[in-house]
Amino acid sequence: MKIVFFTNKCSHGAALLEQLKNKDVPLEAIFIEESRRSRKKLRKIIKREGLFGSLRLATRKLKKVFGHRDDKSWLKNEFYPAFAKKVNVVDNFNGEQCERLLLEIEPDIIILGGSRIIRDNIIRIPKAGILNAHPGLLPEYRGIDVIPWAVYNGDNAGVTIHFVDAGIDTGNTVAQKVIEIETGDTIDSLRKKAETIAGELMSEVVLKIISGEDVSRLPQPSGRGKLYRKMPEKLLRETEKKLRERQHE
């Protein structure tokens, strides 16, 4: 069975790769997305936000991305050959270059370890489908920043493994696990826990598929749940306070 891994070089993807390797899940290839449009996008941000505004945005993003793991080796392409037979760098996961390389490999499964929204031309390629580890309990929590949103709403945070379809986090679910909140937890520590759980659950699901076991695909109820957007900084600070209060209930 040929398994391909997509990543935009993030801590989430690194955690998945480490767990897959620990469980001896073989990867045919890793696809890394490095867009040539990044510099153009950066120039637009600087023009819109100004130099100091751009620095504030960059600091916020770096804090979010780098805060979960001490080891940053996954930022370098040299990190990835240890996990797969081949590493391909592409400009766009939905682009012609990526599609052509995938058609040559003929993968059975694609695993997402940090990616843009995947389009139909890629979704239809793998025989078994595309799997994603979403850091939220579907169908209630779709979108981004769903761990802090769940804490803010007083709900459980968790991880869902699901197949990818044309929607955003709307594909059939195959596994879920709630994140246990412990004394001293912060939003960052919950995100780190989510990465570990994501790797464990993804490995279990993929090993079942490889061994020929049936994997239950549970359709998500239509119209249920909410698509969340990025949580504002002010609300994030309120959420941290709510999390501390929740630990003392």
Domains in the chain: ranges and CATH = 3-139+156-219 (3.40.50.170)
Instruction: Give the per-residue pLDDT at 67.
Output: 44
Mean pLDDT of 223-246: 93
* 53 vs 213, residue with greater confidence: 213
Average pLDDT over residues 123-149: 97
pLDDT over 90 percentage in the chain: 78
Active-site residues: which are they?
Answer: 134
Higher pLDDT: 58 or 191? It is: 191
Average pLDDT in the 153-171 region?
Answer: 96
Please report the pLDDT score of residue 214 as a whole number. Answer: 87
The one-letter code for the residue type at 37 is R
What contacts 41, CB < 8 A, 6 or more positions away? 35
DSSP letter, residue 182: -
**pTM of this structure:** 0.86
Nearest-angstrom CA–CA distance, 219 and 118: 19
pLDDT of residue 72: 78
Are 136 and 142 within 8 A, CB to CB?
A: yes
Residue whose pair of structure tokens reads 């239509």 in the numeric block = 222
Kindly tell me if the per-residue pLDDT of 139 is higher than 50. yes
Q: Write down the mean pLDDT value for the chain.
A: 89
Residue with more model confidence, 216 or 147:
147
